[in-house]
């Protein structure tokens, strides 16, 4: 990730933070619109708490852009727990799509192809580490 991409991520995230809860609500609405079958994974979930957890997880990533490698064990553990939540590999793509859509809606004119590339890269890093953690969990269970 280039310094310019990190700057883009920090700048765009800074604009999302004040509207984070609304953005998180838009994200889940969009997610369930793209794939209604995902609703059942959140059947017993307190969605207000879940919105906070999502924002906290993204904040952690944004705070650690200069040393993302340091987050890998945490992300692998998170991915491992997601296996138990019923999350499959293909779901990460849907979540990424809903996330980028939400950022685009929330940021309006601040959104740009440069911002889209930077977010796709950051999300890809997080999802990749989580999927590796999930693969390890599946290998142990097999
Ligand atoms: C970058 C990707 C993701 C991040 C950062 C993320 C973050 C989180 C966090 C922080 C939690 C709280 C529980 C814990 O720490 O174990 C959680 C729970 C959960 N996530 Fe994710 N998640 C991601 C991807 C996904 C995907 C792809 C799905 C599938 C649609 C998903 C579905 C769930 C479900 C079902 C729960 C459990 C809710 C409950 O406690 O009832 N997540 N996620």
Report helix, strand or coil for 46. Answer: coil
**Which atom of ligand 1 lies at the shortest distance from residue 123's CA?**
1
Q: What are the sequence ranges of the domains in the chain?
A: 3-141
Indicate if the pLDDT at residue 142 is higher than 80. Answer: no
Nearest CA to ligand 1 atom 10: 53
CATH architecture of 3-141: Orthogonal Bundle (1.10)
* 14: confidence class by pLDDT, cuts 50, 70, 90: very high
Q: Report whether residue 88 contacts ligand 1, using a CB cutoff of 6 Å.
A: no
> Averaged over 58-70, what is the pLDDT?
96
Q: Report whether residue 127 contacts ligand 1, using a CB cutoff of 6 Å.
A: yes
User: For position 138, what pLDDT does the model report?
Assistant: 78
User: For position 136, what pLDDT does the model report?
Assistant: 86
**Which atom of ligand 1 lies at the shortest distance from residue 94's CA?**
27
Q: Report whether residue 45 contacts ligand 1, using a CB cutoff of 6 Å.
A: yes
Could you give phi then psi for residue 2, rounded to 5 degrees?
Answer: -80, 160
Report helix, strand or coil for 88. Answer: coil
What lies within 8 Å, CB to CB, of 1 at 6+ separation is: 65, 68, 118, 121, 122, 125
> Averaged over 3-17, what is the pLDDT?
96
Which of 70-79, 82-91, 96-105, 130-139 is the least confident region? 130-139
Reading the block at residue 48, the tokens are 């207000």
* 137: confidence class by pLDDT, cuts 50, 70, 90: confident
Reading the block at residue 80, the tokens are 């491992």
Q: Report whether residue 20 contacts ligand 1, using a CB cutoff of 6 Å.
A: no
Mean of all residue pLDDT scores within the chain = 95
Q: How far is the CA of 82 from the centre of ligand 1 (A)?
A: 6
Q: Report whether residue 95 contacts ligand 1, using a CB cutoff of 6 Å.
A: yes
> Averaged over 109-128, what is the pLDDT?
97
Q: What is the 3-state secondary structure (H, E, C) of 52-78?
A: HHHHHHHHHHHHCHHHHHHHHHHHHHH
> Averaged over 25-39, what is the pLDDT?
97
CB 127 within 8 A of CB 95: yes
Report pTM. 0.94
Indicate if the pLDDT at residue 141 is higher than 80. Answer: no
């Amino acid at each position: 990730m280039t310094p310019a991409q990190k700057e883009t991520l920090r700048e765009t995230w800074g604009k999302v933070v004040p509207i984070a809860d609304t953005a998180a609500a838009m994200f889940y609405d969009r997610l369930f619109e793209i794939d209604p079958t995902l609703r059942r994974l959140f059947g017993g979930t307190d969605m207000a708490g879940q919105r906070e957890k999502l924002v906290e997880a993204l904040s952690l990533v944004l705070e650690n852009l200069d040393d993302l490698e340091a987050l890998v064990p945490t992300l692998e553990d998170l991915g491992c727990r997601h296996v138990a939540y019923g999350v499959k590999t293909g779901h990460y793509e849907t979540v990424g799509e809903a996330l980028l859509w939400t950022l685009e809606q929330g940021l309006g004119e601040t959104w740009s192809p440069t911002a889209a590339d930077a977010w796709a890269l950051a999300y890809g890093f997080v999802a990749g580490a989580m999927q590796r953690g999930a693969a390890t969990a599946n290998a142990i269970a097999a």
